[in-house]
Structure 1
């Protein structure tokens, strides 16, 4: 199973498309996971044009997105357990908050966002993965998203690009 991973799109209802590099790069994925901060519910339809999607709400999402997705999920995909959370909050780092949110469940992968910073590290037996942002790179040199392949083992990597057009 090949999964596209995005977070922190921060796009308004006026957005008419996602970046070309993102759409092309996610072509052929089986599923897209969005780790929150969609900002506008209209963005869901843009993502679903690429592939089916599952997500959670972030701290910049309104009641409609919160009601649709919730704030935390534990998914079973291709025999692996995937935790999905935005990672916002106070005290500690975004990664620490995301990891601690799934302390009891101990999933194979925890996908989180919030910081807009690509991150991948194995901690306490879990792969901690932040795709960065495909549309709001903030202090990062490039926009980014992630790919996770679930086969006998978990393979994950980031994809970077320069233009959000």
Structure 2
């Protein structure tokens, strides 16, 4: 099962639309996971129409209309991998322990908020993945997203993709 991990799209606040390479990745994915900060319901509608399957949560920049349609934490089992998707996990210091305590029945936690790509594993806890942002790099050198494969109870092929400058 091919997964696309995105977060902090901030459309249309930071960009008018998602970059074309990201739309191509949406088309290639079996499941799109979005870890919040959509900003506009129109992007949720567009991804729901285009993605084979969409799993997402709301973020701190998402208003009432998005919060009415999305959970704070989304959960799914994909290819035997138990995933949770949440926007905020707090400061980097102590993140692994906090997330292991908060998500004890999770194999992989996808999160956003910082716009900083992250890939770590909590001791005895979940693997933590932040795909960064495809539209707002902030202090990062590139806008980014991630892909992975979930099959046989394992997550493999986790890849951070850099987007070309706009």
TM superposition score category, shorter chain reference: 0.7 to 0.9
* Contact 1:87-1:94 within 8 A present in 2 as well: no
**Alpha-carbon distance in structure 2 between the residues aligned to 1:46 and 1:95:** 36
Runs of 4+ in 1 over 4 A off after TM superposition: none
Shift of 1:126: 1.5
Report the secondary structure of 1:27's partner residue: helix
Task: Output the aligned Cα RMSD.
Answer: 2.5
**Alpha-carbon distance in structure 1 between the residues aligned to 2:136 and 2:36:** 13
Moved more, 106-115 or 18-27: 18-27
* Contact 2:37-2:62 within 8 A present in 1 as well: yes
- The residue number in structure 2 matching 1:82 is 83
For these two proteins, the number of residue pairs brought into alignment is 162
Length-normalised TM-score, structure 1: 0.86
1:16-48 CA distance string (max 9 Å, x none): 632012112333211101000000010113323
Unmatched 5+ stretches in structure 1: none
Unmatched 5+ stretches in structure 2: none
Specify whether residues 101 and 72 from structure 1 end up closer, same or farther in structure 2 by C-alpha distance, changes over 3 A only: farther
* Contact 2:100-2:126 within 8 A present in 1 as well: no
Q: Does 1:73 align with 2:74?
A: yes
**Alpha-carbon distance in structure 2 between the residues aligned to 1:158 and 1:94:** 22
Moved more, 115-124 or 152-161: 152-161
Length-normalised TM-score, structure 2: 0.85
Moved more, 20-29 or 146-155: 20-29
**Alpha-carbon distance in structure 2 between the residues aligned to 1:10 and 1:98:** 29
1:103-135 CA distance string (max 9 Å, x none): 353311000000001111111242100000011
Moved more, 120-129 or 140-149: 120-129
Report the secondary structure of 1:10's partner residue: coil
- The residue number in structure 2 matching 1:154 is 155
* Contact 2:7-2:34 within 8 A present in 1 as well: yes
**Alpha-carbon distance in structure 2 between the residues aligned to 1:127 and 1:4:** 16
* Contact 2:99-2:126 within 8 A present in 1 as well: no
Specify whether residues 126 and 97 from structure 1 end up closer, same or farther in structure 2 by C-alpha distance, changes over 3 A only: closer
**Alpha-carbon distance in structure 2 between the residues aligned to 1:23 and 1:122:** 29
